[in-house]
Amino acid sequence: MTQPNPLDALTVHADHLRLTVRLTPGGGRSKIEGVERDAAGTVYLKARVAEPPEKGRANAALILLLSKTFDTPKSAIRVQSGETSRLKTLRIEADPERFKKVYEAHFARA
């Protein structure tokens, strides 16, 4: 199977973006591990954080990781759905074109 396009995990809207993420909490060092496709065909960003899934700590760690990785303020990123699930949809309140360029550049370096 071919590697999915990282942009397939990202949905661009006029004033925001949505990013599908599969989070592994309590997984050692916080990092983005790439992009994968599940059996249903959903493409998602695969991320791991050291924080446990207790009281929103893993979600907060994910937001911090995405903020640092994609040079976006933490306040601009929130979990839109999947608060207690590994598969999450995040809403990113940012200039879509700027975020998309930073996002693409991250995967070009990887």
User: How many domains would you assign to the chain?
Assistant: 1
Structural domain includes residue 65: yes
Q: How far apart are CA 47 and CA 82, in angstroms?
A: 14
Question: Which DSSP symbol is given to 2?
Answer: P
Q: What is the CATH number of the domain that holds 57?
A: 3.30.1200.10
Residue 48, beta-bridge partner list: 24, 31
Structural domain includes residue 1: no
- The amino acid present at 18, given as its one-letter code, is R
Instruction: Give per-residue pLDDT as tens, 42-67.
Output: 999 999 999 999 999 999 999 999 99
Q: How far apart are CA 68 and CA 70, in angstroms?
A: 6
Structural domain includes residue 19: yes
Which residue range forms the structural domain that includes residue 27?
6-109
pTM above 0.85, yes or no: yes
Instruction: Give per-residue pLDDT as tens, 70-87.
Output: 999 999 999 999 999 999
CB 95, CB 76: distance < 8 Å: no
Residue 20: closest CA among 62, 69, 68 = 62
Structural domain includes residue 60: yes
